[in-house]
Amino acid sequence: MSQPDQIQLEICAGSVFSALAAQEGGAARVEFCDNLLEGGTTPSHGAIAVARDRLWITLNVIIRPRGGDFLYDEIEFEVMKRDILACKKIGVDGVVIGLLTADGDIDVARTRELVELATPMQVSFHRAFDVARDPIQALEDVIATGCNRLLTSGQAPSALEGAPMLKRLNEIAGERLIVMPGAGVRGHNIAELVRSTGCSEYHSSGRAPRDSAMRYRNAVVKMGAPGQDEYAIVDTDAALVRELIANARGALAP
C-alpha cells in the first residue's frame, strides 16, 4: 500500500486553461487531449506548444487521430508517428497511446514501434485496454511493449465498478508497470478507490462548467450537438483537483 504522499493525480485536460488549472490544483501530471466527449484525441501542435511553455508539471499528450475504435489503418498510424515526433520536438514529457488488433488483442508490434519512436519520453497505454479481449493477457502484452503506465477502469464502465480487477491488475503488474485507475474518478469516491485497489496514481478530469463571457448570445444557431449549451465551457477546476488529492491522500492517513 502506498503512503499518503506517494499518491499522485493525473488530470485529463482538454485545453490549456484546464492544464493550468490542474497545475494550480496540485496535479502531478497532465494528459493533454482534445475532444474529450470522444474520449480524447490529439490536440493541435499549437496548443501543445503553449501548454509546454506554461507548465512546469509533467505534460503527456494523447496520440489518437480520431474517436471510435482503436484499429488504425496505415495512414492513421503514420499520423500517430508524425505526432509523436512533433511532441518530442516540442519537448513534452510523454505520450499516451493505445492500439488493438481486429481480434481485440493489444497490437504489440505497432505499440512497441511507437514506444521506441517516443524514446526518451514516457509512454502510457490508454483505455483501449478496457475493450481488449482478455485483460490479463492484455496486461502482459502492454508490459512487453515497454510502456511505463496503464490507464484503465478495470474493463468496467467506471473505475469504482472495476475496482476488483484494478486491484488484481496492480498486483500482477507489481513493479513492472504503473496501473492507474481512471473513468468516473471523483472527489467523493477516490478514497474508496485508493483503499480498494492499492494503486498509487489516479486519473480524473476534475471538470466543472463555467459561463461564457459572451454578452450577445444567439439562441437559434447551434454549432455543437443537439442539447449542448453553446455558452457553457467545461474545464478543469483547480478546487476540484485539490479536493481529489486531499481525499485520496486522506484515505491513507493514520
pLDDT at 1 over 60: no
Q: Return d(Cα 209, Cα 108) in angstroms, integer.
A: 39
Q: What's the predicted TM-score (pTM) here?
A: 0.94
- Helix crossing, 190-197 with 163-173: angle to 10°? 50
What mean pLDDT do residues 200-212 have?
95
Residue 5 has what pLDDT? 72
Per the CB < 8 A criterion, the answer to whether 110 and 76 are in contact is: no
Domain that holds residue 141: 4-250
As a whole number of angstroms, the distance between CA 144 and CA 140 comes to 6
Express each pLDDT in 134-176 by its tens digit.
999 999 999 999 999 999 999 999 999 999 999 999 999 999 9
Using DSSP bridges, classify how beta strands 94-97 and 8-13 pair: parallel, antiparallel or unpaired: unpaired
CATH number at residue 89: 3.20.20.380
Check: CB of residue 102 under 8 Å from CB of residue 71.
Answer: yes
Instruction: Write the pLDDT tens digit of every residue in 89-125.
Output: 999 999 999 999 999 999 999 999 999 999 999 999 9
How many structural domains is the chain composed of?
A: 1
How far, CA to CA in Å, does 236 sit from each of 5, 59, 209, 246? Answer: 22, 15, 9, 16
